[in-house]
């Protein structure tokens, strides 16, 4: 929340991208989002595996996926 904000819009000053648009640096599939949260990215986004565990990572991944894939 500190990096991407409560609305998921990101913080460019920190290098945290907007999670609500269709622009994905590494791909926006659910599997890629899980990988990003689990392992982190390029020493900018920390790895969260040890802190969150698999269950919470999958819940968070589904939430992040939903931010840019709204049902219409």
pLDDT of 18-52, one tens digit each?
999 989 989 999 999 999 999 999 878 999 999 99
Task: Kindly report, residue by residue over 49-60, the tens digit of the pLDDT.
Answer: 999 999 999 999
Please give the Cα distance from 1 to 15 (Å, whole number).
13
Q: Looking at the predicted structure, is the pLDDT value of residue 7 above 80?
A: yes
How much is the pLDDT for 2? 84
SS3 64: helix
First CA to last CA across the chain, in angstroms?
26
Q: Is the dihedral of CA 33, 63, 16, 18 positive or negative?
A: positive
**pLDDT above 70 (res 72):** no
Closest by CA to 37, choosing from 17, 64, 9, 18, is 64
Predicted local confidence at residue 44, as pLDDT: 84
């Amino acid at each position: 929340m500190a990096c991407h904000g409560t609305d998921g819009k990101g913080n460019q000053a920190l290098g945290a991208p907007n999670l609500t648009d269709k622009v994905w640096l590494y791909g926006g599939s659910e599997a890629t989002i899980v990988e990003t949260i689990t392992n982190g990215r390029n020493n900018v986004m920390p790895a969260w595996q040890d802190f969150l565990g698999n269950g919470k990572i999958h819940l968070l991944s589904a939430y992040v996926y939903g931010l840019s894939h709204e049902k219409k």
